[in-house]
Amino acid sequence: MATMLTHAVLGAVAAKTAAGGKATGAFVLASAACAAVPDIDTLGMRAGIPYEHMLGHRGLFHSPFFALLVSVFVVFVFFRKSRVFEGRRSLLVLYFFVITAGHGVIDALTNGGLGVAFLSPFSNERYFFGWRPLQAAPFGRGIFSPLGQQAMADELAWLLFPAALVWLVSWVCRNVFVEED
Tell me the per-residue pLDDT of 27-72, one tens digit each, with 9 for 90 and over.
999 999 999 999 999 999 889 999 999 999 999 999 999 999 999 9
Question: Does pTM surpass 0.85?
Answer: yes
Q: List the chain domain ranges.
A: 4-177
Tell me the per-residue pLDDT of 107-143, one tens digit each, with 9 for 90 and over.
999 998 899 999 999 999 999 999 999 988 877 667 7
Tell me the per-residue pLDDT of 71-89, one tens digit each, with 9 for 90 and over.
999 998 888 776 655 557 8
Work out the end-to-end distance of the chain between its first and last CA atoms, rounded to an integer number of angstroms.
45
Neighbours of 22 (CB within 10 A): 13
Torsion of CA 64, 70, 76, 82, to 10 degrees: -90
